[in-house]
Structures are given as structure tokens and as C-alpha cells.
Structure 1
Amino acid sequence: MSCYPLLVRAVTAEGLDGSQLSHPREPLPEPQWRPFMVNVSEQRLTGLLASAVGVGRFPVTVRQRAVLAELDAAAAAVSLRLDRALLEVADTFDGSGVSFRVLKGAALAHVCYPDPRQRPYGDVDVLVPSERFDDAVRLLVAAGGRCRFIEPRPGFTRRFGKGVSVRRTDGLEVDLHRTLASGPLGMTVDTDGLFEGATPFTVGGRELLGLGREERFLHACYHAVLGAAPPRALALRDVAQLALDPRLDVRRVHALLDRWHAAAVAAAAVRIAWTELQLVDTVPLSSFAATYQPSPRESRALAVYSSPRQRYPRQAAAALRHIPRVRDRAAYLAALLVPSRQYIAGRDRSYIGRLVRAVRTVRAVERGD
């Protein structure tokens, strides 16, 4: 059973060839329109709905059109502010020789959608190489930013973490990534390989670089399956939008899946997107997703992302077995079991409490709870 209302799914699939979902034939009555628009706003679908209304595929009243136009303009204004922040981050990193790739919202909007307004976003996402991660954090903090979370020990995120969120003085957030996911499946991403290819795009007259086409598709899959549960409907649209792109090199996608041990992630993402958006078009990736059977090891790895309880501790415990070198495993365990006093003060209050919680989490992961 879907967790998204039927009309929300129809808006998510707006403009996609092969979707069996349809829009209403008459404007929605006001008692239905109001909760519908709440869902559309929460799922960041105002741009897609505005496109459907603009070409006459989704009928609305004069008042409803005005409400939608206001919400669409507000979302576009946020994206514009974020684009300006992205350009400032780019200037900062370029000035210090820090390589980076733009991720998610801005890159998807400007590269993958016919109109960037169809794909609003809520923060700036940037990937930097592991060896320059701490430098990038210091640069953002020096510009007035504040890290939202403390890492267990200095250098932990650079070696093992997904990244850090930095809140700027203007209230906007920059998510600085080292890899594409937290937990065990973030450990298997070839982070160096993420910088081998690139897709150029332009923001404010300046050329920026996003991930290569195939890496961008896999990141969309990671975001849809390994991020918030359930994901925003827009995350599923991203998966479908990229999977249906005829320029996608499916052979290279499978090579990356093998290298990253991510076949189960991509199969789950495509399968969910095809189901929720009722897509009937069969492409190589949808055929692959429909028949793929994850191994027990893959199922255990995916389970720690879908668990409603203690998602981060479970992911952290499960990640241990995906760290190849014994020396690195020891450093990882030491940082999590005996982190800095500042970290303890904000979370567990005592080292004993930290140890007890860690042992319980590891046992739960081993049992598959």
C-alpha cells in the first residue's frame, strides 16, 4: 500500500512517458484542495504541479491557480537564494584549491529537468575529496558557518562519515559530503572514483561541475532508499527521471553497481519508483530491478536503513564489517566507543551509558531486529 495519496503520485509522475496515473478532469473542491496542497508542498512538488497546470493537464480554479503561483514563486525564490550560496561556496573552495562536485538539488534541477523550477530544493549539497574534507569544513566555518553536529573524534568524518551539515549566517545549510550515504553502504562507495567524471552546468553565468551521469543516477537511488523513510515523492521522481534518460550508459551503471556493491540499492529504488509512479515503460534498468534478488548480506545492510528505531546507531554498528583494514576498524571502534568528552556531553552524558547503548545496538543489528 502506498504512503502517498494518489493525486500526489500523479503530480510526481507529471510529464513522464509511460505513467498510468492521471490528473482530475475538474478542479478539486476546496475541502480536497487544501490538504492536497499541503502534501504537494511537503513533497516539494509545486514546480511539477505548476507545469501541469500551465499546459492545461491539471484543471484549477482562478483562486487555486493564484495559490499555486504564490507557492511556486516562494519555492523558486528559495532555490535562487541557494544558488547564490552555492556560488559563494564555489568561490571559497576555488580560492583554496579544493575540488568539489555539486550534488542533488541544484545539479538535478539544472541538468536533468527541462525547467529547473520543476525541481525545487532546500539546501546546498557539495561533495569534496576525503583528503580535503577537513579543509573544506574549516573554510565554511571561517566564513561564519557552524557545524550542526560534533564528530566523535577529530578526523572521524574525513575517514568514515558521510559528511557534515554547516549552517551559514543567513540560515541556509550547506551539506558537505565525503561519500553518498552513511552506514555500511556509504563505506563501499568508490569516493575517489566520484571525481573521475563530471557533468558541467551553468548557474548565474558560472560553470559548475556535477557528478557524471551514471554516478548521479546511483546517488538518486541512494537518496531514495537510504535516506529518510519514506522518501519524499520527489526523490522517486529523480530516480525515474534519470533511469528513463536514453543517454544513461546502463553497462557503466552495472559496472559501478559491482564496484560499489550497490545492486540491491539500485534495484530497490527503481522498483519503488516504477510501482509508485505506475510506470509501464520497460527499460533495461526496470527489467533488472523487477527480477533482482538481494543476497542475505545485502538484505541485512538495507535493513539498518529502514528500521524506525535508532537508525544512525544501527548504521554505525553495521558499517564496521564493511571497513576492510583491521587498523581502520580499530580506529573506528575507538572513536565510537570512547569519543571526545564534548561529544559525550551532547549525547550520552557518560562513557558508561555510551558503552551500554553501543553493546545493545550491536546485538540488535546482529539479531536483525
Structure 2
Amino acid sequence: MKDGSAPDQWQSVFLRACAALSPSDWAGREDAIRRLDGTGWKNISSAAERYGLTGLVSRGLDWAHQELGVSIPVRESLARFRQGQLLQLLARRSAAREVTNVLAARKIDFVVYKGVALADEVYGDLSLRAYGDCDILVRPDDADAAFNALCELGFAPSASTNVAQQIANRTAAIAVKRPELSVDLHWTLSADDLFMKDTDIIWAHCTPPEGANALPGRRMSPELMLVNLAEHFCRHSFIELKPLVDFHIVAVKCGPRVDPDRLHRLARSLRLDSMVDLTARLSENLLLPHPMTGRLKHDRPGIRTRVACAVLTERAIVRTRDPLPTESRLRRLAFGGSVSATLRAFRTMLLPRVRDLEGRFQRPFDLRMYPQYYAIQMRRVLTRSRNSFDRHAGLAPASSPPSRRDGE
């Protein structure tokens, strides 16, 4: 699918619909909306569904109609989708309450975060923030008990799973499913070495929930929410738009509770300060400038951050198709982590170690892996393939929680 006949417009209107917090945010945007043709509106509708942002886009375009009095062809279809989505989310929230009640009854310490927590306690309207799974963080020592509790509730992993082995293999989570809900059971927020070693930093920034109707379990502090969302956005090659929108909404709605100094101390302790700074800048550049996001930026961005902001434009971020895997990997390597992490990743990509190859091919090392590895990577680049390394190598996908745009 080609982008619309106004290629510099539909992405801008789509992002404004995601970020608008009141009808007045559309002031002065009438010309941009009137210039959109049928293809542009079709792209906006498709992008809203693709990125899991239909609720926000529907509300935002309703506000545009209210403020500007312009005709918006996709308003009714988005409103119907939003209403149908709400029914699904109500069922998922009910299942999430059942899960968290059982974990709390068993005295398991846990954190509810991302989708279900954000929809309830930050967005304040379940229809605005879609999610397909419930993300729960437990301590590594409690992971087995939590997993068994979920299995007793009828949740099942996609394959036979040994929790202790998954932790030893340095995976970050296990996904278990029931028809109405998937639960991603985490014992760390990331498989990154620092997250694996310093889980105490994470738990020190989690507190009991506020509100009588809140689901049981701890909640992340606003600072930890922002760090986690920035890490997720950057680590996933800037493809998943929802974490950027979440970052913007959290920064604005939780603004008075966010301590910028505390935020940057936490981010530095996890070596994620550059990700937070970049995400705040992209929130300002791509969504809506706001004092609450502006104060999260560093005074002087580094060269790498300035280059990232120049490269990651509206058209680069909001697409009708994912970028090629090689482009995604280069984005992540160039902008998605610290300089030292980027250098290590480039070294691993160009000169993989024995254990890297064993992980890639899912079997014990033999010398034939080196020519096979380079041949597959060259084929992926030359053919501009969208297939993963595993598919080219004829391997089953590695077991990990599924990545879905509505599943966060």
C-alpha cells in the first residue's frame, strides 16, 4: 500500500490525533485535514488499528470535528471499532482482576504495569488504550509459584516450560494464555545484563496502588514508568509507536508527580538516560510539545541524539508497513542504546562468538555455523528480505512472549 497523495500530511494528522488532550489542540490544523484525500484517511484508519491506537485516534478526530467543523470520513468506522474494542477490554480487565486476586491471596509480591495499569490509572478510559495481555512482574524467586498459580487458573504456555530453566537461559518472561487474555509473567523488565543483576533498583520504585477499585499488586512510580516506556520504544527499533504515545501521556498526566532529577538518576543507574532524553525529544517533535515533556530533556543533546532526531521523522516512524529487518536492526544499533552497548552489538553482528552462534542456530557449535551465518545475513541484505534469521535458517521461532501492537 502506498502512502496517501499528501505524504507529509496524513502522518501529521494521525500523530496529532494520538497526542491531542483537548479539542483546542486542533486549532490551526484545518488546512492539513482538508488536504487529505481518501487514501490519506484510509492510511490513518489502518495505522490506528495497526499500532493499537484506535481509541485515541477516534477521540482525537472527534475533537478535530468538534473544534474545526470539518468532515472526517473515518469517524464513524473508528467509533464502531472503539466500541467493539471496549467490550474486549472489559473482558480482559475482568480476567486480569481474577489473576491479580489469586496472586495477592497467595502472598506473591508482584507489579502490574504497562497496558492494563496505564488504561485504568493514567488514561482513565478503558476504550482509549488497547492491550491484549496483562504484564506482571514478580521476583525471580516467586516466578515458579506465580506460574503455577496461573496454570491452575487455566492459563497455558505455548509449549512445555520450565521456569527455572527460562531464568537460567536469561529470558525475561513467559507468556501464558487463556481465550480472553494472555499474561506475560516477567521476572525482570529486560534481558539486559543490568536489569538481570539489579532488580532491587526496579522494586525500590514500585509502590502499592492508589484507589479502591484498582487491581491488586504494586505499581511503578511515574519515573520508572517513563524509563520503562523509553527503553521499550528504543529497544524495539522505534517501530512500536504505542510506547512513545504512552510516554507522552504519562509525562503530561503524571507531570506534577514526576521529579526530573529522580527520573534521570534512575535512568543513569540503569544506563538508559540517553533513551529517556531521546524519547522525550521525539515526543516533542512528533506528538505535541508540552512543558511536562520538555522538562525531561537534557539541556544539551549529544551528537547521536541530534542525528536520531533528524533521522526519526514522522514519515520514518509512522508507516503502512514495517521497515526491513536490516533497517530496524541498524536503527536499534545506531540509536537504541548506549554507545558501549551499540559497539558490543556491532561486534556480535560482525564477529559472533561461539555462544552467539549456538543461540542463533539453537544447537551445539560446529564450524559450519560461521559460513552459514554469513550466507544467511548476506542473503537477507541483498534480497531485502522481511523474513527473520530463524526462518531463513529453517528454525522454529525462539520461545518468548509474542510481540503484538495491541498486546502491551
TM-score normalised by L of structure 1 = 0.72
CA contact (8 A) 2:27 2:68 kept: no
* Amino acid corresponding to residue 38 of structure 1 in structure 2: S
Cα gap change, 1:261 to 1:205, in 2 (>3 Å): closer
* Amino acid corresponding to residue 137 of structure 1 in structure 2: F
Residue 145 (structure 2) aligned to one of 105, 128, 135: 135
1:269 aligned partner: 279
CA contact (8 A) 1:13 1:21 kept: no
In 1, distance between residues paired with 2:371 and 2:268? 31
The Cα shift of 1:48 comes to 1.7
CA contact (8 A) 1:264 1:294 kept: no
Cα gap change, 1:159 to 1:93, in 2 (>3 Å): farther
Deviations 1:170-208 (A, max 9, x none): 1521111122223346446x3223333325145866555
Residue 17 (structure 2) aligned to one of 3, 11, 23: 11
The Cα shift of 1:25 comes to 4.9
In 2, distance between residues paired with 1:282 and 1:275? 14
Query: Structure 1 regions of 5+ residues with no counterpart?
Result: 296-303, 322-332, 340-346, 365-369
* Amino acid corresponding to residue 76 of structure 1 in structure 2: L
Cα gap change, 1:220 to 1:65, in 2 (>3 Å): same
The Cα shift of 1:148 comes to 3.5
* Amino acid corresponding to residue 351 of structure 1 in structure 2: P
1:225 and 2:238 are equivalent in the alignment: no
1:118 and 2:140 are equivalent in the alignment: no
2:170 aligned partner: 160
2:52 aligned partner: 44
Residue 110 (structure 2) aligned to one of 100, 107, 114: 100
In 1, distance between residues paired with 2:244 and 2:228? 12
Cα gap change, 1:142 to 1:359, in 2 (>3 Å): farther
Residue 329 (structure 2) aligned to one of 296, 304, 307: 307
1:356 and 2:369 are equivalent in the alignment: yes
In 2, distance between residues paired with 1:206 and 1:154? 27
2:396 aligned partner: none
The Cα shift of 1:87 comes to 0.8
Deviations 1:138-186 (A, max 9, x none): 2222333222367799434267322111122x15211111222233464
Report the secondary structure of 2:100's partner residue. Answer: helix
Report the secondary structure of 1:92's partner residue. Answer: helix
CA contact (8 A) 2:93 2:116 kept: yes
CA contact (8 A) 2:267 2:273 kept: yes
TM-score normalised by L of structure 2 = 0.66
1:177 and 2:186 are equivalent in the alignment: yes
Cα gap change, 1:274 to 1:21, in 2 (>3 Å): farther
In 2, distance between residues paired with 1:27 and 1:305? 31
Q: Sequence identity, in percent?
A: 21
The Cα shift of 1:243 comes to 2.8
Alignment of 1:306-325 (within 5 A): 307=329
In 2, distance between residues paired with 1:271 and 1:287? 7
1:144 aligned partner: 154
- Two-structure CA RMSD over aligned residues (Å): 4.3
In 2, distance between residues paired with 1:217 and 1:126? 17
Report the secondary structure of 1:124's partner residue. Answer: strand
Cα gap change, 1:140 to 1:64, in 2 (>3 Å): same
Report the secondary structure of 2:297's partner residue. Answer: helix
Cα gap change, 1:236 to 1:261, in 2 (>3 Å): same
* Amino acid corresponding to residue 5 of structure 1 in structure 2: Q
CA contact (8 A) 1:267 1:292 kept: no
* Amino acid corresponding to residue 8 of structure 1 in structure 2: F
Please say which of residues 203-212 and 110-119 is displaced more in the overlay.
203-212
